[in-house]
Every structure is written in structure tokens, then in C-alpha cells.
């Protein structure tokens, strides 16, 4: 699909100057979170910063005392030098203390940053888990998640910036007090030199944020291209199909367009920034001349001259730092708002109190005229599905690719709610049960199960993570799914790291992975078993064995099998044949063959293939 020539920030996405201050509202909550991450470190950091803030003015003041004392000594021959050395010792002490405090601040900043970044990343993982699949698949939610996730390091910088800002404010306050005491006019000059460049900074930083925000999904695409372009999982296909050029060009195109937009803002910011800075330099020299005149007129001592020019110079630097930090904070605080927006995302709570699940399933599941369209899509996938899956029954779902078999399973598991119609368990709408308690009753393996690059033990235990240390149960599940052979085949047994991403990891074959994933379904003593194409990668003997065991092990348990292999399907008590979202046949293998409909046709087609 051709892209628009150059996507700039739309009016709706543009963040105004006023908006850019909005992020500041999140700062108090941010600090509560940091405090919770490390109360002791936080208190230590604040205390060190408060002390350190008075360092510059104290040093300048002692400098003034030293110079005035030297002048006095030069004028009064033979005077006692004790005071001078006391001042020098004081300055040395102050310099050492300031250095020490600086180190304490850096150390506690770093440690607090680590703790906070860990805590906020964990919060994001937990929140993402609370979201429904519908929300996670919605690109808008996904963008929010992305912004919250990718800005972790910026939040850590924000922390030290805000703390540094508070310190700088104190420091600036103390320097200003000194200036006001001797020469109030200097303050006016000072602000004149700083304010224009401050406004410039705020303006451009909010523009940069707007741009980054309006490009969230493009940046997601860039990340994705980076991922498939350099990844062991995709390397085979990328090499085989010679995709490198295609991927690199696509990446370059998109990245370059972002670069151009960003460059435009950066150049303007730098141009205007330079101009306003010039104002600052001129005003410094204006102030310098003023102080020199006052000193020559005998209104100020030499010590006061160095104190004032030193204070002015320092203040200018500090104020500039204060203002530019202010814009940096405003910018990061807007990202912070994204993070809190994500953490506060509304998770639709059930309207009614959940009802308790039945102790044991007695009647089974019933679909009543279920229609379903995926959120954000217009194509109906299920079109009036009605059937009953009796308690203890083994049912197979059969149908061509895209017929809606997996969708049926996702609805039974409550991942999505039907667009219309009802799904009942023992006569109660499944939406009335607590979702987690309800799903705990299921042992499921999906066709697109995930290959966790964890140890073999963990890969099986994810089916019931509370039993991670229960070796007996894990091995039992492995035996049931034939994964015990995999445990024997790998060097480290259950402790073998799987996949190639981590050190000493071992990759498994497709069939081995499938056996491991299948073991997850056996980790619980689940009342309902759902196997969605659990044998697609298995060899014929393994497949036969998996099913023979499955049938034996699930005697009396309700189960659903999705498979394209009729040798498997025929073992089910009843077979549901789905065609383009409608049930076209439902019955036993023999009944359906006799009927001579779609099932019989597909069965004979496959049987012919084996002859």
C-alpha cells in the first residue's frame, strides 16, 4: 500500500505549549512510586541534594572572604594571617564536602533509577496481563502499551532530572538572595537574558514529543522491521527468499522520513536557541561592566566583585540548566502521562457479581445461536452456531482453513464475547463466572503455542506454574505427552535451556516442541481438555501414540480436539463439521460417513491420498 508522502504532525496530535505543562500533574504520583521503590535511598538522595544545593553560594562567599582578607593583609603590614588560613581551610572543607555529596547523589540516583525501572517494568507486565485479548489486539491499546514500555529509560532520566531540578532551584534561590543583597538590578538583567531561550526550548520540545507520539505506530513498524531483519527465528526465511534488501529498504525509507521530520525541528530549535543564547552572553558582559563601575566607585569591595560576577555567571548557567531541564522534564512528563494512562487503563469489570463455578460439570457446554465478528473487523466469522458439548464427551472440530474452529475454542475459553447469542456451562452464561477460575478448569494447547526460551522444566510447568518445583508432576505430564523422550534426549534433562537466544540453549525440532507444549495441557488435572492441532508436527507413530494415550487419559472428561487428520478425528465421540462459520454436520464418524456430506467427502479425499 503506498504511503502518504511525508506524514507530519496533524493538528489533532499537536501538543500546545499549555498541553506540554500538563504532564507535570503526573509528577507527584511519579514521586510516590519512586519513594515506594526505595524509601531509604530516596530520603538519602533528597538530604544530600539539599546540602549540596548550598555548596556554590557557600564557596563563592568564602572566596569573597579570602580576597577581602588578602586585600586587608596587603594594606596592613604585619597583620595576623590566621583568619586567611582559616578561610582557606574552610574552602577546602567545602570543596571536599561538595564532592562527597555529589557522589552520594550520583550513587543514590543510579540505585533508585534501577529499582524504579524494575518496579515500573513489572507493573507494565502485570497490567498487560489484565487486559483482555480484545484490548491487546486493538492497535490503539497496543500503541499505549508501546509508549509505556519503551519509555522506561526516559522515566529513569526524568527522576534524576526532577530531583536535580529541585536541587537547582534551591541553589539558584541562594545565589539570587546574594545578588539581591548587593545589586538587585542584576536580577532584571539575568531574567532578560534567560526567558526568551526558555520559551524557545519549551516550544520545540513539545513539537518533538508531538512528532514522536504521532509516529508511535510507525516506530512500532521500525522495531518490527529491525526484529525480523536481524533475528535467528527469521534468518532462514530472510536468507532463503533474499529478503534483506527488501527489509532494509523498507526500514530505511520509514526511518529516513522520521529523521527528516525530526531534523526540521532540531535545526529550528538550534538556530533560535543560538540567537537567544547570544542575548545571554551580552547581558553577562553588561552586568560585568556594571559591577566593575560600582567597584571602581568604591561601592563594592574586590571580594564582592568576585562574588557578584561569580554568582552572576553561575546563576546564568544554573538558570539555563534549570530552564532546559524544565523543558526536558515537561517532555518526559508527557511520556509519563502515557505510562500512567496505560497503568490506569480501564479493564471492563463484570457488571454482575461472578457466580461460583459448578463443583463438577454435569450437563456441559451449550452454544445458542452464537454469532461472532472479531473486534475491529467487519467479517462475521461465526454465523449462528448452536450445539451442545455434553459433559464427558470427546468432540472433534473439523473444517477447512479459516472455517472458525480455533475461534470457537477462543470463545469457549472466554477470550472474546460473542457478538450475539450465548455460551452456557451447565445452564449458566460463561461470562458470569470469574474468568481466571473458569479458565483454570481447562487444559489447553493451542496450534500456535508459544516456545518459551526458558528451561525444559519451565516450558512444561507453564501449564500450571505453581507446580514448577513438582518434578513428579512435570515428569508425569511429560510421559503423557511423550515429552519424556525429549527430556532424555537433551543433555541437561529438565534443566536444559531451550532455544538459541540464550547461552547453552538447545533448539528442539518442531515435533519435540509440540510434545513439550502438549505436556502443559496435562500439568493440571483439568476437567476440560482442548487440543488445537496438537499433532501437526508429529510423525505418524508419535501421533497415533499421543492420541491413544489422550483417549485413555481423558476418559470421562470433556474434551475438544481440532485436527485435520481423520485418523485422529474418528476417535472422537462426535464430530462437528464447520464450514465458513456455520455448523454443517454433527454426528459420529459412522453417521457422518453414511450421510455422505462434507465430512465424508473430506475423509475420502484424505484416505485416497494414502492409497
Binding site for ligand ATP (CB under 6 A): 137, 374, 377, 381, 399, 401-407, 447
Residue number with CB closer to ligand ATP (114 or 137): 137
Residue number with CB closer to ligand ATP (407 or 568): 407
Least separation, in Å, of the C-beta of 526 and ligand ATP?
21
Residue number with CB closer to ligand ATP (406 or 606): 406
Least separation, in Å, of the C-beta of 447 and ligand ATP?
6
Least separation, in Å, of the C-beta of 398 and ligand ATP?
9
Least separation, in Å, of the C-beta of 445 and ligand ATP?
13
Residue number with CB closer to ligand ATP (183 or 532): 532
Least separation, in Å, of the C-beta of 570 and ligand ATP?
18
Which of 449, 422, 407, 430 has the alpha carbon at shortest distance from 350?
430
Residue number with CB closer to ligand ATP (147 or 405): 405
Residue number with CB closer to ligand ATP (303 or 404): 404
**In 522-569, which ranges are continuous DSSP H helix?**
540-553, 566-569
Q: In what order do the strands lie in the sheet with 442-445?
A: 442-445, 528-532, 558-562, 394-399, 574-579, 582-587
Least separation, in Å, of the C-beta of 560 and ligand ATP?
12
Residue number with CB closer to ligand ATP (26 or 563): 563
Q: Is 596 left (phi over 0), alpha (psi -120 to 50) or beta?
A: left
Alpha carbon dihedral 63, 65, 69, 71, in 10-degree steps, equals: 70
Residue number with CB closer to ligand ATP (67 or 530): 530
For residue 271, the number of C-alpha atoms closer than 13 Å in the C-beta half-sphere is 6
**Spatial distance between the Cα atoms of 188 and 185, rounded to a whole number of angstroms:** 5
Q: Are 247 and 238 in contact (CB under 8 A)?
A: yes
Least separation, in Å, of the C-beta of 220 and ligand ATP?
17
CA-to-CA separations, 21 to 27, 327, 330, 339, in angstroms, rounded: 11, 9, 6, 16
| DSSP, res 500 | S
* Secondary-structure breakdown of the chain: helix, strand, coil percentages, each rounded to the nearest 5: 65, 10, 25
**Spatial distance between the Cα atoms of 574 and 556, rounded to a whole number of angstroms:** 14
CA-to-CA separations, 341 to 153, 247, 335, in angstroms, rounded: 18, 33, 10
Q: Are 331 and 205 in contact (CB under 8 A)?
A: yes
Q: 574 in helix, strand or coil?
A: strand
Least separation, in Å, of the C-beta of 136 and ligand ATP?
10
Residue number with CB closer to ligand ATP (72 or 439): 439
Residue number with CB closer to ligand ATP (10 or 377): 377
Least separation, in Å, of the C-beta of 30 and ligand ATP?
35
**Spatial distance between the Cα atoms of 479 and 546, rounded to a whole number of angstroms:** 10
Least separation, in Å, of the C-beta of 508 and ligand ATP?
22
**Spatial distance between the Cα atoms of 145 and 430, rounded to a whole number of angstroms:** 29
Alpha carbon dihedral 512, 518, 522, 523, in 10-degree steps, equals: 70
- Beta strands 558-562 and 528-532 are parallel
Amino acid at each position: 500500500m503506498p504511503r502518504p508522502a511525508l506524514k507530519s504532525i496533524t493538528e489533532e496530535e499537536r501538543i500546545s505549549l499549555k498541553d506540554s505543562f500538563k504532564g507535570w500533574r503526573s509528577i507527584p504520583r511519579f514521586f510516590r512510586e519512586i519513594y515506594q521503590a526505595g524509601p531509604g535511598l530516596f530520603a538519602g538522595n533528597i538530604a544530600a541534594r539539599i546540602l549540596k544545593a548550598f555548596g556554590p553560594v557557600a564557596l563563592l562567599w568564602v572566596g569573597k572572604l579570602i580576597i577581602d582578607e588578602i586585600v586587608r593583609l596587603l594594606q596592613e603590614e604585619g597583620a595576623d594571617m590566621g583568619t586567611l588560613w582559616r578561610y582557606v581551610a574552610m574552602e577546602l572543607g567545602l570543596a571536599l564536602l561538595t564532592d562527597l555529596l555529589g557522589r552520594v547523589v550520583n550513587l543514590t540516583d543510579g540505585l533508585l533509577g534501577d529499582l524504579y525501572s524494575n518496579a515500573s517494568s513489572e507493573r507494565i507486565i502485570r497490567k498487560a496481563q489484565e487486559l483482555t485479548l480484545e484490548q491487546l489486539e486493538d492497535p490503539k491499546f497496543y500503541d499505549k502499551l508501546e509508549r509505556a514500555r519503551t519509555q522506561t529509560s526516559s522515566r529513569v532520566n526524568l527522576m534524576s532530572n526532577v530531583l536535580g531540578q529541585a536541587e537547582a532551584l534551591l541553589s539558584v534561590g541562594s545565589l539570587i538572595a546574594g545578588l539581591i543583597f548587593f545589586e538587585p538590578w542584576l536580577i532584571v538583567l539575568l531574567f532578560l537574558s534567560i526567558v526568551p531561550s526558555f520559551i524557545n526550548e519549551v516550544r520545540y520540545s513539545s513539537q518533538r514529543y508531538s512528532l514522536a507520539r504521532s509516529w508511535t505506530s510507525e516506530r512500532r513498524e521500525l522495531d518490527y522491521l529491525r526484529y525480523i531483519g536481524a533475528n535467528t527465528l527469521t534468518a532462514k526465511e530472510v536468507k532463503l527468499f533474499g529478503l534483506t534488501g527488501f527489509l532494509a529498504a523498507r526500514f530505511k525509507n520509514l526511518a529516513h522520513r522520521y529523521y527528516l521530520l525530526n531534523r526540521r525541528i532540531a535545526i529550528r530549535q538550534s538556530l533560535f536557541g543560538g540567537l537567544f543564547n547570544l542575548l545571554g552572553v551580552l547581558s553577562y558582559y553588561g552586568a560585568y561592566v556594571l559591577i566593575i563601575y560600582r567597584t571602581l566607585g568604591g561601592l563594592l569591595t574586590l571580594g564582592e566583585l568576585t562574588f557578584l560576577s561569580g554568582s552572576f555567571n553561575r546563576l546564568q548557567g544554573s538558570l539555563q540548566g534549570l530552564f532546559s531541564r524544565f523543558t526536558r522534564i515537561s517532555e518526559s512528563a508527557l511520556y509519563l502521562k502515557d505510562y500512567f494512562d496505560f497503568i490506569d487503563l480501564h479493564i471492563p469489570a463484570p457488571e454482575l457479581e461472578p457466580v461460583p463455578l459448578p463443583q463438577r460439570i454435569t450437563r456441559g457446554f451449550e452454544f445458542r445461536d452464537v454469532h461472532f465478528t472479531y473486534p475491529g473487523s467487519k467479517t462475521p466469522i461465526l454465523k449462528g452456531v448452536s450445539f451442545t458439548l455434553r459433559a464427558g464427551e470427546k468432540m472433534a472440530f473439523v473444517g477447512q482453513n479459516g472455517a472458525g474452529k480455533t475461534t470457537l475454542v477462543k470463545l469457549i475459553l472466554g477470550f472474546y464475547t460473542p457478538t450475539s447469542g450465548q455460551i452456557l456451562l451447565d445452564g449458566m452464561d460463561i461470562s458470569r463466572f470469574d474468568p481466571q477460575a473458569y479458565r483454570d478448569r481447562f487444559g489447553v494447547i493451542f496450534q500456535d503455542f508459544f516456545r518459551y526460551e526458558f528451561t525444559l522444566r519451565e516450558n512444561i510447568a507453564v501449564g500450571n506454574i505453581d507446580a514448577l518445583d513438582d518434578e513428579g508432576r512435570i515428569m508425569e505430564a511429560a510421559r503423557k505427552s511423550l515429552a519424556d523422550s525429549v527430556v532424555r534426549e537433551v543433555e541437561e534433562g529438565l534443566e536444559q535451556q531451550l532455544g538459541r537466544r540464550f547461552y547453552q540453549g538447545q533448539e528442539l525440532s518442531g515435533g519435540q516442541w509440540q510434545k513439550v507444549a502438549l505436556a502443559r495441557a496435562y500439568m493440571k488435572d483439568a476437567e476440560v481438555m482442548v487440543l488445537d492441532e496438537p499433532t501437526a508436527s508429529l510423525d505418524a507413530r508419535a501421533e497415533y501414540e499421543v492420541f491413544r494415550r489422550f483417549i485413555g487419559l481423558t476418559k470421562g472428561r470433556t474434551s475438544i480436539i481440532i485436527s485435520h487428520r481423520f485418523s485422529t478425528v474418528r476417535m472422537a465421540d462426535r464430530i462437528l463439521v464447520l464450514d465458513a462459520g456455520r455448523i454443517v454436520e454433527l454426528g459420529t464418524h459412522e453417521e457422518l460417513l453414511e450421510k455422505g456430506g462434507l465430512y465424508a467427502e473430506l475423509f475420502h479425499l484424505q484416505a485416497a491420498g494414502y492409497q
